[in-house]
């Protein structure tokens, strides 16, 4: 499952971060690293972008970027 597939209020743990080159490095620099818990806070009215809670701060991501982040939900653990 990828980060964009989470329901609002659901939490998950990052399994892997995909993407290539600068995109992957940017996601990692923002704190989206494996074994980090994230919670989907909000989704914009048109569905893009989404807001997640990670490491105590709110981060807004585009759906295309969120599709590169594979997560494991609490149910899957």
* pLDDT tens string 29-56: 999 999 999 999 999 999 899 999 999 9
Domain parsing of the chain, residue ranges:
3-73
Q: Which residues contact 55 (CB under 8 A, 6 or more apart)?
A: 31, 36
Give the closest residue to 8 by CA, choosing from 40, 38, 56, 47: 40
Instruction: Give CATH for domain 3-73.
Output: 2.30.30.90
Helix (H) or strand (E) holding 65: helix 63-66
The predicted model scores a pTM of: 0.86
């Amino acid at each position: 499952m990828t980060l964009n597939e989470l329901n609002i209020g659901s939490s998950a743990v990052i399994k892997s971060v995909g993407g290539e080159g600068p995109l992957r490095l940017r996601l990692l620099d923002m704190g989206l690293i494996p074994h980090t818990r994230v919670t989907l806070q909000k989704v914009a009215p048109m569905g893009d972008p989404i807001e997640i809670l990670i490491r105590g701060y709110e981060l807004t991501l585009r759906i295309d970027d969120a599709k590169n982040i594979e997560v494991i939900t609490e149910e899957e653990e």
